[in-house]
Structure 1
């Protein structure tokens, strides 16, 4: 089985999933993130949400597929942690801009 090759900001995002400070460096200043039916705008809001989610769910994401779709990078990952339905496959829809994540939408 070959390793999945992800664009640098996406690889950095998954590598830093339990480090909100490192995660903040993956996003543009005006980034928008959608997850669990909520929208987070800007690095501070994203960082706060990610810190709370990491503490609450202790989720680990393992990307297994990537494809390009209408200017987006669509990554599918196995996610396990302390939440109902674990493990689950989630889709991460990234839009990259100047080497950073400009938007991210996470869905089932």
Structure 2
């Protein structure tokens, strides 16, 4: 079995997906996250969104591929949960700075 090796902040992000406090520690203070057509700027906005999404959808993400693309890390993951269209494959486009996530865009 092949094990997917993710950069530390990305591995920490997926490991903490149901823990908003731990998720917040993965991001820079000025981080920007885009998901579901909305943009969340700063740790507090990202943490609030992640707590709400976790409670509402109980989604579980299992990364299966990673590639570098113009300074970004593009991770593809199988996502299952309590939402229409589950399961689905989502793309997570991470930009890392100083060992933390500076930006993240999640798309289908």
TM-score, length of structure 2 as denominator length? 1.00
Structure 1 vs Structure 2 CA RMSD: 0.2
SS at match of 1:63: strand
Deviating 4+ runs (over 2 angstroms): none
Residue of structure 1 in register with 2:35 after alignment: 35
What SS class does the counterpart of residue 82 from structure 1 fall into? coil
Counterpart secondary structure, 1:50: helix
- Structure 2 residues not aligned, in runs of 5+: none
Structure 1: gaps spanning 5 or more residues: none
Report what 2:84 is aligned to.
Answer: 84
TM-score normalised by the chain length of structure 1: 1.00
Tell me, in whole angstroms, the C-alpha distance in 2 between the residues paired with 1:2 and 1:79: 19
Aligned length: 108
